[in-house]
Structure formats: structure tokens, C-alpha cells
Structure 1
Amino acid sequence: MKSRTFEIRIEGFTPRTGAPLMISPKYVFSALATFSLLALGSLASAQEKSQPFYIGTYTSGDSQGIYLSSLNLEDGSLAQPTLAAELENPSFLAINGASDHLYAVGEVSNFKDKASGAVSAFAINEDGTLKLLNQEASGGRGPCHILLGPDEKTALVANYGGGSFTSLPLTEDGKLQPAASVMQQTGSSVDKSRQQGPHAHGMYLVPGTKLALGVDLGVDKVMIYDVTDEGELKTHDPAYIAITPGSGPRHLATNKTGDKVYVLNEMASTVDVFQFDPTTGKSEHLQKLSTLPEDFEGNNTTAEIFLHPNGKWLYCSNRGHNSLAVFSVDQKSGKLTFVEHASSMGETPRSFQIAPQGKHLLIANQNSSNIVVYEINQENGTLTSNGYQIDVPNPCCIDFRFD
């Protein structure tokens, strides 16, 4: 075997021609330190260009649970998804502010021989995989939405099948405790095929307050709750925001000051705008707009709604028309003006998410099992596909992780 020679150049050291190569340890350490700094710099640079996110799915098909991918912030490409944790029907996710814990609902009807869904707490490992900490009953069948309450001391859950809103206190190390309160809804509304009883569909916080808004599709109301320091839900006065009968409210968004509430109605394919007083909970209806083109004649249900981080644009997803409706937001009145419909480039856009930097929007198409990337025009909020997408089985939730 032929021997190989390597030329080693170290700044500040020049060996004498023909002399044995003897390097002082200080030069070795200096070289290694320089190499390490360069490597760490490259790693940090790569991390700054990448925004990781988790994907909740339905596991009735090929999915195994929660997946992890990342968005390249420079070219808008996506990393191939990898399995972060196995879990049955993790249809909605919530990540804490420190990005070291993730919480997921398990949208099932039976958990530990109870008529309830599941809620799971995970620790986020350094490589992005998830370590299960514990699980608790959700307080009702078919939980479909979760978020963290004031000061991230409580997990708030909406149980669609059971028609209830639940609060589960969290321990200091991120684990779930048994439910502190289960607010069982009652009543019905005009559409007896879908509104024969309550169907809790989402929970949201009013910024700067301890008020939680619970959206109920079955009774056409947005419930108003006070979240106590002990993690309990208490009915507020007034107790709810009334929605036009038959609308079927699903999700909502608030502006940063909490004085505007945008309610997305699944059944009517409309969005309602309310003036809201965060100190009293009183509301006033300002506007109702369709999320569909005037000439659309097919079947459609809406799914997700988000305000852009700058508060200037509102986005709503249409399942059936398979599009995102884009609206501009008047910064004084809060009222909406239609801008465009953007194709979801897939079937049944159940969910989408805006990247924290506000330049990209990712759409999760549940029935075509793909996630598509759009560039957000920073002047008018319009969407343009950048051509990148990934295949994920039955995606229904996207949540970005802050590093």
C-alpha cells in the first residue's frame, strides 16, 4: 500500500525544510479550536436559515402520528418529513413559548375505557423527536383543538364529539394534570343534520387578558370564559357571542389588541367581524363576508383562519372550493375587503400556517396528503406558489417551533 503525505499549514508555524514535523500542542489546540468555531458557525448559519415545524395528522391511513419538517427561509423549500412520535389521530398541536414541550390532542372517542379523547404531553428532544411525558383524558369525545392558557400553566381543549371545553393544569416540568374543569355545552341550532347538539371546535385567548373564547359549531355561539389562576374555566358575563343560526362557527382569530374578533363559520362559508371589549367581554357585530366566489355552486366547508403577523391580511381556507380566501384588514375599523382566492393546489385544505417571519404560508391538504408552500406578497398579502411541496399522509395541523 502506498503511503500518502499531507501538507499541513498552520498559521504562525513554518517547518524547516527536511526537518521532522513536530508540532507543539498549542498549535494543535489552536487549529482544532479554529476548525470547531468554523463548524459551529456553519451549523448556526444553517439553523438560522431553517424554521422547523410539526405536522399533526389523522392516522386512519398511512400516517403513524406527528411528523417533523422544516422550512428553508432563503429559498422556501421544505425538508422531507420524518416521524417525530407515534400517536393516534394527533389532529391538533400546541408548542410552548420555550419550544421545549409539545401538546397534542388524540381525536378518539375512547381513552382508557372512558368516553373521552386523549391529550398528550411531549418533551422536545434536541434532534426534534418527541418524548412522551404523560397522557390525560380530554374530558369529552373527539377532541379537535388545543392551545395553552394564560402564562402557559393550562392546556385548553375543545371536544367536538362530546360538546365540551376542558382545562388541564400543567406541572412545572410540563406534564398534564387531570382536568380542572369540563364545561359541558347544551342546546342545538337550526340545522338538525349537524347541529342536533353542541360541537365544541376551538379555544382561543383574548390577548392581554385571562379570557378564553370557545367556539361551538353545534349551538352557533362563541362562549366566553374566565381562566382562573388554578386553571379552571368560569363562565363570564356576558357568557357568549351569538352567531347567525345555521352558520356553524369553527375557528376564530383576534387582532393583537383583542378588540377585533374574526369568526370563521364552517357551514355557511362566511367570516364574521366583531368589535370586542377585552375588559368587559361585550361585542358588536360589524360585518359578514362570504369566503367563496359568487358563482361557486359546489359544496364547501371552511376550516382554518389566521391573521398575518402584521395584522394587515386575513386568510381563510375553503374545503370544496379548495382555496384560501384572502382579505385585507382596515387598520382602524377592522373591517375586511376581499383580495383574492388562491388555489390550495390540493384537496381539502384543512389547515394552514403562516411562518413566524411572515413571508411564507404553508397549506396542509388533508385528502391529497400534501403540504404546499406559498410566498406572501409583503405589499398586498397575495399568495404565489413557489413550487415546493412535500407528501405527508392526511395532514391536518401545522405548528412552527421557535428555536
Structure 2
Amino acid sequence: MIYAGTYTRGSGGIHRIGMADGTGALSGGEVAAECPSPSFLAVGPGGKALYAVNEIGDYAGARAGSVSAFARGADGALKPVNVVSSHGSYPCHLTVTRAGGHVLVANYGSGAVAVIPVLSDGSLGDASCVIQHHGSSVNQARQERPHAHSVDLDRANRFALVCDLGIDQTLIYRFDASGGKLLPHDTVYAAPGAGPRHVAFHPNGRLVYVINELDSTIGAYRYDPAAGAMKHIDTISTLPADFKGASTTAEIAVHPSGRWVYGSNRGHDSLAIFAVNPATGALRPVGHAPTLGKTPRHFSIHPGGRFVLVGNQESDAVLVFRIDGANGSLAPAESRVSIPSPVCVLQC
């Protein structure tokens, strides 16, 4: 089952899509749950719960967004459970702990990250921890204040990595599951004006890749899971050398085999493809695949590694591409479904 999060235009919310495993053919696209601008989605362990950020700035009369919880039926139907404050404005990303006891949320507008407990009845409680980032960076139009853009836990759930586009930092927090707290641990600095947006861990758990939105680059790092430490390997552009137009990056993902890394370009409207050096973790450019639409804000790789689904935000469509198992290249699977303003594609 596939769910698409959207920016709503007065109606709609989370859409449900079917996919044939053998061919990648898509079907459906109907609204599964109505809620305002569910721009990022995640499922809990066992797939019985789904959570969505609501990327708004006025929840319950406060300068805050919200997080919605849904119970997920065996047929993929979503039943609303409850909605709570994200304790910051315009939340844009969230992740669920491995045990399912907490949801971690990044608030882009206010630059805060929050930990929200999942109660025994499956509902969300009030935040057990809220951390406000501070600072700015060199791009006055986009980095005038903190903008927390993503929060991801490592495999052991001991450390959380938070990309803050506004201050050019990936902040590493130790995660205290017993108290639902984030404890400052370390900071990784990007180049001024880079704008860290999202991270993707390699399947081996010892490499992590950071996609930088504003300068269209990917930073490769060695990751020490015991120490919660990142060590820079190299940084590489996501754009062709001869591209002269305006473009920003969005999503990043590592193939389940660990052999390739993909990053989306909005403006160039492509997925950049890189081969992973198995000895060093460094990236080598393989090529670019046009996404056949405008503004590929998000994409996800099928768990089997054969397909990638791309949400073209400004073309109102989700498309399927086949992944070549020999070289990681992409080819259109000639299947699409119309979804208004798709900005997250979740496969579960």
C-alpha cells in the first residue's frame, strides 16, 4: 500500500494508491483521510498506525502546526485517532521510534524539534521535549532564522540527526527513550549557504548521506553508531556540470542494496544517480533521470529495490520508474496516478 501526503487546497489530505508488485502499475488515488497539508507521513512498527505532520502555522489558535494520528486497517483504511500540537510552526518531517513509543517532529517555520509520546491507546500525548534552535546563515532569503527540516533516528535509536537548513547544521542528539528526551550531543557544519535538508542512512548503518537543498549537493559521511559521530568523506553536486538554471534539492534515498544513492532536483526536475564506493562510501555520478514532471519534492524506493515512485508536486502526479539492477539507472514504467500536489510518497 502507498500513501501520498499533499499540500491541501481547501480539501483532501492523505491519498491511497495501489501498486502491482510485478509490474509497478498504479491504481486508485482516492482520499484515505482528510487533514490539512499532511506533507510528511510515517508508519509505526507493525504498520498499524500512521502519523502525519500538518504543515500549518495556526493550530488551535497558536503559532504552531500539528501532528495527526491514524489507526490503519488491514485493507489500508485510515481511522482518525487524535491531533496534537507539533510545538512549532509549519512542521515538515517526522519519524517514529523503533519501539513505537514516540514520534519525533521537525518544525520548519519555527526551527524547533519536538518529541511526542504515543500513549497506550494509540493516541498522541503532549510533547515530552521541545528544543528550539537558534542562529542564521548567509542566505538572507532562506536562512534568516533556524528551519529544522528533518529528524531521523539511527538504526539503534540511540541518536537523532536533525538537519537545520536555516543554520547550515546537522545537529546530533542523544535520544533518551525512557524519558522521551533529546540531549544535545554533537554538531556537523555544512558549507555556508548549503542548507542541509534530509539525511539517508546506508543499510550498513556506518554511512550517512546529507542532501543540501540550497547549493544542490550531497555530503557523504562515515557514521560511528557507538559514538554518534559523523566524519566527512566528500561532497558532490547533484546537478550536471553544464546546468545553468535555478534548482534546489529535496529528497535523498539509498537503494536497499547499498549500491546507489538517489537525490531529487527541483528545477532541473530529475533524480541524480550515484554509485557508492564500497570501500570508502564516496559517491560517483552515474547520471540523471528526468522525472517527467515538475518539482519532484519526494520519492521513495520500493522495498524490493525494483521500482522508485516519484511525486511531482507541480504536475499533480505520482509516477513509477524501474531501477536497473546492474547499474542503478532509471526507466519510466509508464504508470502514473493523478494526485493533487503530492509532496510525500510512503510505501508500507
Q: TM-score, normalised by structure 2?
A: 0.97
Pair 1:179 & 2:127 matched: yes
Shift of 1:193: 1.3
Pair 1:68 & 2:16 matched: yes
Which residue does the alignment assign to 1:30?
A: none
SS in 2 for 1:197: coil
SS in 2 for 1:251: strand
Deviations 1:221-266 (A, max 9, x none): 01111111235333333x2111111100100111133321100000
Pair 1:287 & 2:234 matched: yes
SS in 1 for 2:178: coil
Structure 1 gap segments, 5+ residues each: 1-51
Which residue does the alignment assign to 2:117?
A: 169
CA distance in 2, matches of 1:281, 1:192: 31
Pair 1:371 & 2:342 matched: no
Which residue does the alignment assign to 1:392?
A: 339
Aligned partners of 1:207 and 1:256 also within 8 Å:
no
Which residue does the alignment assign to 2:306?
A: 359
CA distance in 2, matches of 1:390, 1:137: 32
Aligned partners of 1:215 and 1:250 also within 8 Å:
yes
CA distance in 2, matches of 1:223, 1:174: 29
Shift of 1:121: 0.5
Which residue does the alignment assign to 2:100?
A: 152
CA distance in 2, matches of 1:243, 1:152: 31
CA distance in 2, matches of 1:300, 1:290: 12
Which residue does the alignment assign to 2:142?
A: 194
Which residue does the alignment assign to 2:280?
A: 333
Between stretches 341-350 and 144-153, larger displacement belongs to 144-153
Shift of 1:175: 1.3
CA distance in 2, matches of 1:383, 1:105: 30
SS in 2 for 1:347: coil
SS in 2 for 1:98: helix
CA-based RMSD of the aligned residues comes to 1.2
CA distance in 1, matches of 2:251, 2:179: 27
Identity of aligned residues (%): 42
- 2:181 is aligned, of 204, 229, 233, to 233
Between stretches 138-147 and 255-264, larger displacement belongs to 255-264
- 1:135 is aligned, of 66, 69, 83, to 83
What is the count of residue pairs matched by the alignment? Answer: 348
Which residue does the alignment assign to 1:101?
A: 49
CA distance in 2, matches of 1:170, 1:83: 25
Aligned partners of 2:45 and 2:99 also within 8 Å:
no
Pair 1:306 & 2:253 matched: yes
Matches within 5 A, 1:16-31: none
Detail structure 1 runs of 4+ shifted over 4 Å in the superposition. Answer: none
CA distance in 1, matches of 2:273, 2:64: 36
Amino acid at match of 1:328: A
Which residue does the alignment assign to 1:380?
A: 327
Select the structure of larger CA radius of gyration.
Answer: 1
Pair 1:58 & 2:7 matched: yes
Which residue does the alignment assign to 2:219?
A: 272
Deviations 1:97-135 (A, max 9, x none): 311110000000011111110001000123322111011
CA distance in 1, matches of 2:63, 2:3: 28
Amino acid at match of 1:343: P
Aligned partners of 1:209 and 1:278 also within 8 Å:
no
Aligned partners of 1:248 and 1:265 also within 8 Å:
yes
CA distance in 1, matches of 2:181, 2:195: 23
Which residue does the alignment assign to 1:116?
A: 64
Which residue does the alignment assign to 2:291?
A: 344
Amino acid at match of 1:284: K
Q: TM-score, normalised by structure 1?
A: 0.84
Aligned partners of 1:220 and 1:242 also within 8 Å:
yes
Aligned partners of 1:70 and 1:78 also within 8 Å:
yes
Which residue does the alignment assign to 1:222?
A: 170
Which residue does the alignment assign to 2:198?
A: 251
Larger strand proportion, structure 1 or 2? 2
SS in 1 for 2:182: strand
CA distance in 1, matches of 2:203, 2:28: 33
Which residue does the alignment assign to 1:34?
A: none
